[in-house]
Structure 1
């Protein structure tokens, strides 16, 4: 995923904290997390991990962790069963932008 680069993007000047990539790979490969919520640290101009949801947490727990009035990025590992009764998992990238958040956020 492009947003997981640990250096700043030349066009935006925004970087990504080193632990973001490691935590994402724990979610993706080890299945130790259900979700990860990222936020922009405006002082340091970088994306940081705000919250990590445990493997047993639900989608409702994830939604409750999102702020009502501020933007966030998140990844959510969704487990489901296919019509053929196969256990599957898909990781979703979510850009959370409530209508009452600041414009620049």
Structure 2
């Protein structure tokens, strides 16, 4: 499925990072959770489940490349960090990264 560092799903991973931030999940927990997701979604059993559900966009006929998984992790983390930076606290100050 994913072959390149950046692809059409990069924005989805970026948005997921933002969502994790606004759900109050710490960066370290978010990072590990997404890393586990990346590892699991590329296993044969998970790809079989993905292809049977029909709701995964385009299905998943093969595992992502390592470079694509690194890109997915990068964009997820970037989304979380940018959300933190742009989030103003009640004093009108931006979050520190």
Instruction: Note whether the superposition's TM-score is higher than 0.5.
Output: no
Q: So what's the TM-score if we normalise by structure 1?
A: 0.28
Higher relative contact order, chain-length normalized (CA < 8 Å, sep 6+): 2
Q: So what's the TM-score if we normalise by structure 2?
A: 0.29
The structure carrying a bigger helix percent of its residues is: 2
The structure carrying a bigger strand percent of its residues is: 1
